[in-house]
């Protein structure tokens, strides 16, 4: 059988493990022990209450999350968090929230925050085309900011922070949508982490929010119920009908991470190995494949590169697709090539891509 899922290099929704897909296939018809399809089980059932409880416990275990965090499963994607975060933490404040502008997705979060209150862009990589991340000597954070916000992995550009930013006396807020549970993240150093499921940990439709209890006490009154984290805390993530299917698949993914992979430390090692295989090829290609970003800021999740001419790039993408490597076109905003190596992408699949790229290079080197 041709395991198509091994060849899905898409930027998102991303690849899921074969073993999880098999369980999903079974659950579509009948969840073992329940006698109903996953698509028709009530979110008010004891079974689903158990799913939410187990998923929460698994995430706490994977991240060694302290007890004073709430674990929420929301809708609206990461995009809704671009708004919910400043509604909760910035509305009515006079000090500016501090945002880093490191790429496409952080650039989407900034104007949404601006609707709620003052925002200061601490650093922007825009003038340099988002080819690198800032060093510590380029960053000065204010002690009185309501919070700082950054994106740990800029999915479009292929930039990833390999350290925690900010200061310990100002709440850190981080969009980890494209690297959540792909490596250890020192969750206890953040006040709020959000990540939608569809890059690393499941299908689209669900967003994980980890929020420290003390932030809720300071939230303004009068928020719409659906946009108020406190309502979701009280309702244990069933304030309205939640995406039962998506939440169940994420539960299966956390079981896979715990039982088959062996935790996020191990997942991080595997992900570093996959990325290294591809970056080593770029580095020894003598400029045939040109990496987009500064080597120190390379992402383990999204490997971005260009070829010499748009024509050669188009030929590469076309031949890759017919060889079974799906989803390699760069984001519509940047072009180029992007290989996304999310958790379920296997090392053998990455090695297949490396072989394909070696062969393509040999047959096109002189033509370029
Ligand atoms: C894909 C992505 C988003 C957009 O998420 P939606 O769920 O589509 O709203 C936001 N942030 C990051 C870092 C992403 O990779």
CATH of domain 263-364: 3.90.1150.10
Contact 175 CB / ligand 1 (< 6 Å): yes
- Peptide linkage before 13 cis (omega within 30 of 0): yes
* Token output for 229: 């984290």
pLDDT (average), residues 109-121: 98
- Residue 1 scores a pLDDT above 80: no
pLDDT of residue 202: 96
As a whole-number percent, the residues of the chain with pLDDT over 90 amount to 95
Closest by CA to 187, choosing from 68, 316, 19, 336, is 68
Task: Say if residues 247 and 51 touch (Cβ distance below 8 Å).
Answer: yes
Report the SS3 class of residue 173: strand
Task: Say if residues 204 and 10 touch (Cβ distance below 8 Å).
Answer: no
Catalytic amino acids? 105, 175, 199
H helical segments located in the chain = 18-29, 46-63, 77-89, 104-114, 213-217, 229-234, 244-255, 264-284, 310-322, 347-364
Task: Spell out the SS3 assignment of 233-296.
Answer: HHCCCCCCCCCHHHHHHHHHHHHHHHHHHCCHHHHHHHHHHHHHHHHHHHHHCCCCCEECCCHH
- For 98, other C-beta atoms within 10 Å of its C-beta total 26
- Residue 366 scores a pLDDT above 80: no
179 DSSP assignment: T
Given phi > 0 = left and psi -120 to 50 = alpha, else beta, which region is 142? beta
Contact 196 CB / ligand 1 (< 6 Å): yes
- Residue 367 scores a pLDDT above 70: no
pLDDT of residue 204: 97
- Asked if the domains at 19-261 and 263-364 fall in one CATH topology, the answer is no
pLDDT of residue 6: 53
pLDDT (average), residues 74-92: 98
Report the SS3 class of residue 160: strand
Distance 125 CA to ligand 1 centre (A): 19
pLDDT (average), residues 34-41: 96
pLDDT (average), residues 124-145: 97
As a whole-number percent, the residues of the chain with pLDDT over 70 amount to 98
Contact 178 CB / ligand 1 (< 6 Å): yes
- Residue 143 scores a pLDDT above 70: yes
pLDDT of residue 280: 98
The third-level CATH classification (topology) of the domain covering 19-261 is 3.40.640
Bridging pattern class, strands 337-340 and 302-306: antiparallel
- For 163, other C-beta atoms within 10 Å of its C-beta total 8
- Residue 3 scores a pLDDT above 70: no
Instruction: Give the model confidence (pLDDT) of 269-313 as tens digits.
Output: 999 999 999 999 999 999 999 999 999 999 999 999 999 999 999
* Token output for 46: 């004891």
Instruction: Assign 228 a pLDDT band (cuts: 50, 70, 90).
Output: very high
- Residue 32 scores a pLDDT above 50: yes
pTM value is 0.97
Instruction: Assign 241 a pLDDT band (cuts: 50, 70, 90).
Output: very high
- CA-to-CA distance for 13 and 342, rounded, in angstroms? 10
Least confident of 1-10, 59-68, 279-288: 1-10
Contact 292 CB / ligand 1 (< 6 Å): no
List the domain boundaries for the chain: 19-261, 263-364
Instruction: Give the model confidence (pLDDT) of 162-193 as tens digits.
Output: 999 999 999 999 999 999 999 999 999 999 99
For residue 176, which atom of ligand 1 is closest to its CA?
Answer: 13
For residue 77, which atom of ligand 1 is closest to its CA?
Answer: 7
CA distances from 242 to 44, 235, 246, 304 (A): 10, 11, 9, 35
Instruction: Assign 7 a pLDDT band (cuts: 50, 70, 90).
Output: confident
Task: Give the mean pLDDT of the chain.
Answer: 96
Distance 198 CA to ligand 1 centre (A): 9
Task: Say if residues 44 and 236 touch (Cβ distance below 8 Å).
Answer: no
Cα pseudo-dihedral 293, 346, 351, 180, rounded to 10: 10
């Amino acid at each position: 059988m041709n395991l198509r899922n091994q060849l899905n290099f898409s930027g998102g929704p991303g690849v899921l493990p074969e073993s999880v897909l098999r369980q999903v296939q079974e659950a579509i018809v009948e969840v073992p022990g329940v006698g109903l399809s996953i698509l028709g089980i009530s979110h008010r059932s004891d079974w689903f209450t158990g799913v939410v409880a187990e998923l929460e416990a698994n995430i706490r275990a994977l991240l060694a999350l302290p007890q004073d965090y709430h674990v929420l499963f929301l809708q609206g994607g990461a995009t809704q968090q671009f708004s919910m975060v400043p509604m909760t933490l910035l509305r009515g404040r006079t000090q500016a929230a501090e945002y880093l502008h490191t790429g496409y997705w952080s650039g989407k979060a900034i104007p949404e925050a601006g609707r709620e209150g003052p925002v200061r862009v601490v650093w922007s990589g825009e003038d340099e085309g988002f080819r690198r991340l800032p060093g510590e000597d380029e960053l000065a954070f204010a002690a009185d900011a309501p919070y700082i916000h950054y994106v740990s992995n800029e999915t479009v550009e292929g930039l990833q922070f390999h350290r925690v930013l900010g200061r310990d006396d100002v709440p850190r807020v981080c969009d980890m949508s494209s690297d959540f549970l792909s490596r250890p993240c020192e969750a206890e150093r953040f006040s709020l982490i959000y990540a939608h499921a569809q890059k690393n940990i499941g299908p689209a439709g669900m967003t994980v929010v980890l929020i420290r209890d003390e932030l809720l006490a300071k939230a303004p009154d009068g928020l719409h119920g659906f946009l108020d984290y406190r309502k979701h805390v009280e309702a244990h993530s069933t304030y309205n009908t939640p995406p039962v299917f998506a939440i169940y698949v994420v539960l299966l993914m956390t079981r896979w991470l715990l039982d088959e992979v062996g935790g996020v430390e191990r997942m991080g090692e595997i992900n570093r190995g996959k990325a290294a295989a591809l970056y080593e090829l770029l580095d020894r290609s003598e400029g045939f494949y040109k990496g987009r970003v500064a080597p120190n800021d390379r992402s383990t999740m999204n490997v971005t590169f260009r070829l010499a001419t748009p024509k050669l790039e188009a030929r590469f993408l076309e031949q890759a697709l017919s060889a079974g490597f799906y989803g390699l076109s760069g984001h519509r905003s940047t072009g180029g090539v992007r290989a996304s190596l999310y958790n379920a992408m296997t090392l053998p699949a990455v090695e297949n891509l490396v072989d394909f790229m070696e062969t393509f290079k040999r047959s096109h080197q002189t033509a370029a």
